[in-house]
Structure 1
Amino acid sequence: MLVAAVWLPSICPVRAEETANPVKVAVMGLKATAGIPPEFLESLVALIPEELERLGPFKAITTADINQMLAYENLKDQLGCTDVACLAEIGGALGVAYLISGNLTLVGDTYLLQLQLMDIVQARSAGRVAREYKGGPMGLLEEVRAATRLVVREVLAANSGNLWVRVSEEGANVELDGRIVGVSPLPPFSAGAGFHALEVQMEGFVVFRKDILIEPKRETVIDVELLPSGEYLRAYEKKAGFTRKLAWGGIVAGGVAVAVGVTLYFVGSASGNNLSDDIEIYNQSQVHDPAVNTDLHNRKQTLTDLNLATVLTTAVGLGLSGVGTYLFFAGDPPNRYQVEPTIVLSGSKGAVGIGIQGGF
Structure 2
Amino acid sequence: MKKALLVVGLCLLLTGLAMGGTQKTTISVMDLNTSSGLSQKELSLLTDKLLNSLVEYRVYDVVERSKRDEILKEQGFQMTGACSEASCLVEVGQLLGAQKMIGGTIGKLGTIYVVELRMIDIQTGGIDLSFSRNYGKIADLLTAMKEAAEIFSSWKPGAGQSSKPGGLFVVTEPDGAKILVDGQEQTRLTPNLIYPLSEGLHQISLIKEGYSLFSTSRLVSIGKVDTINAPLMSLAGKLKIKTDPAGAKLFLNKKYQGIVTEQGITIDDLTDSLYKIKATKWGYKTYNAKLTPTPGRETKIEARMPLRRWKINFCSFDFVKNLVSSTEDVATFDSYSATTQTMSVTEDDFVGSGLGGGAGVGFALNRNVTLGLMYQFRIYPNAIRKNFSSDWYSTTMQSEDLEINFTSHTPLINLAVAVPWGRLEPYGEIRYGTISFSAKADGEYEIQYMSRPSVDSAYTIDSTITRTIDDKVVYRTLQVGGGFLFWLKPDREALRVYWMYSKDSFEDFSLPESQQEIDLKVSGLQFGCGFTVHF
Under a length normalisation based on structure 2, what TM-score does the superposition of the two structures give? 0.24
Higher relative contact order (CA 8 A, sep 6+): 1
For the pair shown, the structure with the greater C-alpha radius of gyration is: 2
- Between Structure 1 and Structure 2, the one with more helix by share is 1
Please, what TM-score do these two structures have when normalized by structure 1? 0.35
Higher strand share: 2
